Amino acid sequence: MTKNKKLISLSLVLLFISSSLLLSAATASVEQHRQVELFCDGECDNDTPILPPPPPPTDTTPPTVTIVSPTGLVAGTVVVEGSITDNIGVTSADYRVDSGPWTAMSLIAGSQWTASLDTTTLIDGAHTIDMRASDAALNTGTATGTFSVDNTAPPPPPPSSQVTPWGISRINAPAAAAAVDESGIIVAIIDTGLDYNHPDLAGKFLWGHSFYQGNTPTSLACTTTSPAPCLDGNGHGTHVAGTIGALDNTFGVVGVAPQVKFYIFKGLDDSGSGSYSAIAQSITMATNGPDGIPGTADDADVISMSLGGPSGTVELENAINHALAYNVVIVAATGNDAASTPSYPAAYPGVIKVGAVDINNAIAWFSNRGETILAPGVDVESTWLGGTYNTISGTSMATPHVAGVAALAWAKHPTFTGAQIRALVEGAKDTFGIVDASKVVV
């Protein structure tokens, strides 16, 4: 595309519901959690003793744990899922295979906790899986199941027909995508990586960088000939990618902008946590492109971030401003704490701040306010690990709808500045405040 990248604009252009993945002053995550701190207005009265809070009510009921998957015969990378409930709330969950080391799981929505398992590291045959969960009273519930591995069998065929997720239809994406050619548009996804082998995402990965292998910090380039460092071990990044640009074919799902290409930055580890520094570096690298020079044709056109935390950093803000100055459109989730203000980086000026709605056009109960646009974010179906599909909720799921619309806007208006594209997208909303893709391609 021929974008006016020389015009410098100084105006600033994994979230699952109730996630346990935190973003502190040093860490970023798929979800935001509100910090609670003791403070007083004015000066505290030093003569008044500060009493400790009363002890929490005694609870002895352990969480109820049900293993949903894996069961039966499996192969390749599979989703480990548990349905876990507790009367005072589950605080953590993990699993192990054959009495091996425990691996942390992430809360996706409601009682759904998930992780991923690469079965190619296991021998073919029968295996046991243990799952456990704890609550705030330190009660622990457990469950044990079995499954079998056969990695000599061919992978299951993709679904025989394509589904258009309700959110894609709701924002009029199919008609908008049919009106433009977005094959030259690049969306940079900063998340947990990508299942680049997924048949609905084939050929979309171009370049990227990984700051994590598993849950261990690293710094590795990802290329089309060596994409492995950017492989998604969580599922969140793959889900986001499918909503942005799953292929329009005869199976699976279709995304908002089916022809777009991806830069993938694994700025979050397999548990969904990551450092602010990794996020900031990902933004800068996406802006500069593979040639390392901002303002050139290989720069990302859109950056999508379904992540957030309670505060920002100077490094993160500088990276945001750098991207905006070079006409990159930044789209970020507001967060899932039902708070009155967005999380960071969505809170920064110039970032498109995306809140979530349900199928009835109601703002989702968990969606932080202060949004500049709304999009479908409840019960969103998209691509998942191992060539599968998953339905989950969060402002993380709303954000890629808008990132895809921004890509369609660039395809229609290649000479616009980044600020003009942002204004066009934020203004393309219906009477409910929900983004309407058809309004950016006219």
Q: Exposure of 49 by Cβ count < 10 A (0-12 exposed, 13-18 middle, 19+ buried)?
A: exposed
CA distance 77 to 71: 13
* Long-range contacts of residues 101-106, Cβ cutoff 8 Å, at least 24 apart: 102/132, 104/215, 104/271, 105/80, 105/131, 106/14, 106/16, 106/19, 106/20, 106/21, 106/30, 106/234, 106/236, 106/271, 106/272
Residue 231 tokens, joined: 């492989």
CA distance 230 to 251: 25
Kindly indicate the confidence band of residue 186, based on its pLDDT and cuts at 50, 70 and 90. very high
Residue 322 falls in the annotated catalytic set: no
User: What confidence score (pLDDT) does residue 111 get?
Assistant: 81
Given 198, 236, 239, 401, which residue is catalytic? 236
Q: Answer whether 208's CB lies under 8 Å from 230's CB.
A: yes
User: What confidence score (pLDDT) does residue 54 get?
Assistant: 58
Question: Residue 117: CA atoms inside 13 Å, Cβ hemisphere, count?
Answer: 29
pLDDT over 70 at 43, yes or no:
no
CA distance 256 to 405: 7
Q: Sketch out the chain's domains with CATH numbers.
A: 28-32+157-440 (3.40.50.200), 64-149 (2.60.40.650)
Residue 406, classed as helix, strand or coil, is: helix
User: What confidence score (pLDDT) does residue 301 get?
Assistant: 98
Residue 118 falls in the annotated catalytic set: no
Report the chain's mean pLDDT, rounded to a whole number. 87
Give residue 250's identity as a one-letter amino acid code: T
CA distance 164 to 291: 36
Residue 440 tokens, joined: 């950016």
Given 106, 111, 275, 396, which residue is catalytic? 396
User: What confidence score (pLDDT) does residue 98 get?
Assistant: 95
Higher pLDDT, 308 or 58: 308
If you count DSSP H runs as helices and E runs as strands, how many of each does the chain have, helices first? Answer: 7, 23
User: What confidence score (pLDDT) does residue 159 get?
Assistant: 62
pLDDT over 50 at 41, yes or no:
no
Q: What is the mean pLDDT of residues 381-401?
A: 95
Q: What is the mean pLDDT of residues 392-412?
A: 97
Kindly indicate the confidence band of residue 69, based on its pLDDT and cuts at 50, 70 and 90. confident
pLDDT digits over 278-313, tens only? 999 999 999 999 999 999 999 999 999 999 999 999
The 90-97 sheet, strands edge to edge: 72-74, 140-149, 125-135, 90-97, 103-104
Strand positions, DSSP E, 228-301: 252-253, 261-266, 273-274
Q: What is the mean pLDDT of residues 14-41?
A: 36
User: What confidence score (pLDDT) does residue 99 get?
Assistant: 93
User: What confidence score (pLDDT) does residue 53 get?
Assistant: 58
- Contact partners, residue 138, CB within 8 Å, separation at least 6: none
User: What confidence score (pLDDT) does residue 76 get?
Assistant: 80
Given 191, 200, 299, 337, which residue is catalytic? 191
CA distance 190 to 69: 27
Task: Please report which residue ranges of 60-171 form alpha helices under DSSP H.
Answer: 166-170
User: What confidence score (pLDDT) does residue 72 get?
Assistant: 84
Q: What percent of the chain has pLDDT over 70?
A: 85
User: What confidence score (pLDDT) does residue 14 get?
Assistant: 44
CA distance 235 to 270: 9
> Which residue from 251, 270, 299, 238 is spatially nearest to 105, judged by alpha carbons?
270
> Which residue from 116, 121, 120, 118 is spatially nearest to 95, judged by alpha carbons?
116
Q: What is the mean pLDDT of residues 160-167?
A: 92
- Name beta bridge partners: 303: 188, 330
Give the CA distances from residue 190 to residues 2, 148, 177, 232, 303, in Å, rounded to whole numbers and listed in that order. Answer: 24, 34, 23, 11, 7
pLDDT digits over 88-129, tens only? 989 999 999 999 999 998 887 678 888 888 888 899 889 999
Residue 304 falls in the annotated catalytic set: no
